[in-house]
A and B are shown apart, each in its own frame.
Chain A
Amino acid sequence: DVKVTQSSRYLVKRTGEKVFLECVQDMDHENMFWYRQDPGLGLRLIYFSYDVKMKEKGDIPEGYSVSREKKERFSLILESASTNQTSMYLCASSFRQGGLGEQYFGPGTRLTVT
């Protein structure tokens, strides 16, 4: 079974702190994605990566950065957390070619910034 794990299920941080969210997948997927999920807005893509050290901006990259030093790991960084970044963060991965193109999701990290 594909497994996507995220470092924390719940996280509480203070405004201005630097926050690291980690995601690891064990299926040798080339593609990895970070989304945030807010009520009524669905999933919005923050950043994605299709290879090691490659990254591309999604729809809402402002206030975030990412790092992909190894194929299995994709990190989301909030350089200076703000209250409007309180949200559920979901990581996903997929194969770059072949198959259905479906994405596999981690359980999510609920981040609260106070």
Chain B
Amino acid sequence: GEDVEQSLFLSVREGDSSVINCTYTDSSSTYLYWYKQEPGAGLQLLTYIFSNMDMKQDQRLTVLLNKKDKHLSLRIADTQTGDSAIYFCAESPAGGSARQLTFGSGTQLTVLP
């Protein structure tokens, strides 16, 4: 079945760049997503990338997609303490009656002062 994997923890210093990595298995996914979950809250869509793109940039966020290796990454430039959160990658496998998403386990990003 589909599987999405992420490392569980990442710590960076304020002002540095953060890179969160994700591997997925379903090569037919149309979109891949990054969600952010702040403490005590639900998930919010942070950004996404269409499967025929290699890169997408949105202000401090850069998403890189390597379809050959089924590898997705999220780079946050100039990381701030407000970026501390859990980041989930998700894929949208083909088929399914309700466009289910498969989520990774989430990466807890801690930004140190």
Contact = CB atoms under 8 A, between A and B. Distances in A.
The answer on A and B forming one complex is yes
Interface of A: 4, 30-31, 33, 40-43, 45, 48-50, 56, 58, 90, 92, 94, 96, 100-108
B105 A40 contact: yes
Given A40-B105, A107-B41, A108-B41, A102 B98 contact: no
A80 to B, nearest CB: 27
Nearest to B48: A100
A41 B105 contact: yes
Contacts, number: 62
A105 B42 contact: yes
Residue among B44, B100, B103 with the highest chain A CB neighbour number at 10 A: B100
28 contacts: A4-B42, A31-B98, A31-B99, A40-B105, A41-B105, A42-B88, A42-B103, A42-B104, A42-B105, A43-B43, A43-B88, A43-B106, A45-B100, A50-B97, A56-B97, A90-B43, A94-B99, A96-B98, A96-B99, A100-B48, A101-B92, A102-B45, A103-B43, A105-B43, A107-B40, A107-B41, A108-B40, A108-B41
Interface of B: 8, 30-31, 33, 35, 40-45, 48, 88, 92, 97-101, 103-106
Contact of B98 (A50, A90, A100, A105): A50
